């Protein structure tokens, strides 16, 4: 019996108004379903040609390892997301402290050339998870939005 990490789950994720259970087909196979399948396989095997019981133990151990790795993966994904949120919050705090100050930024164009601009920071914001500064350019008075990561130096 092969273990498939992606299968229908034996636990419902919800219920419709008429009482029908809703299942998430993308959820992982749980241990109860695996054990039910194992019992069914053992019950329905030929008594004169039984399978080696060590296969069942090996399969159960593989399933436990897979289950633990998936839980670890979920935990790591949560920690990465939490870390990214903290980095964005820290960058936003630093960007907000620049409001009213003059800065120099370096911005690349389509051909990979970089141009430096100076201006006064008017505001800071987060757009699609990226911290941005709104600058009033010193030479033209034009308002330009740039990524915080393009900051070269604070001039005042």
Query: pLDDT tens-digit profile of 113-125?
Result: 898 999 999 999 9
Q: Is the pTM of this model over 0.75?
A: no
For the chain, domains (ranges, CATH) are 14-42+54-90 (no CATH), 98-155 (2.30.30.140)
What are the pLDDT digits (tens) for 23-34? 555 555 677 787
Residue 99 pLDDT greater than 70, yes or no: yes
Q: How many residues does the chain have?
A: 156
Task: Give me the pLDDT at residue 9, please.
Answer: 40
């Amino acid at each position: 019996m092969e273990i498939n990490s992606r299968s229908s789950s034996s636990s419902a994720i919800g219920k419709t108004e008429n009482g029908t259970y809703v299942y998430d087909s993308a959820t992982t196979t749980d241990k109860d379903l695996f054990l039910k399948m194992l019992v069914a396989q053992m019950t329905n095997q030929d008594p004169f040609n039984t399978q080696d019981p060590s296969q069942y133990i090996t399969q159960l151990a593989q399933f436990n390892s897979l289950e633990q790795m998936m839980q670890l993966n979920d935990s790591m994904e949560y920690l990465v997301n939490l870390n990214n949120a903290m980095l964005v919050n820290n960058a936003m705090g630093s960007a907000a402290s620049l409001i009213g100050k003059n800065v120099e930024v370096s911005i690349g164009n389509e051909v990979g050339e970089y141009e430096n601009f100076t201006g006064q920071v008017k505001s800071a914001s987060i757009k699609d998870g990226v911290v941005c500064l709104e600058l009033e350019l010193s030479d033209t008075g034009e308002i330009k939005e740039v990524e915080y990561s393009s900051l070269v130096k604070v001039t005042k």
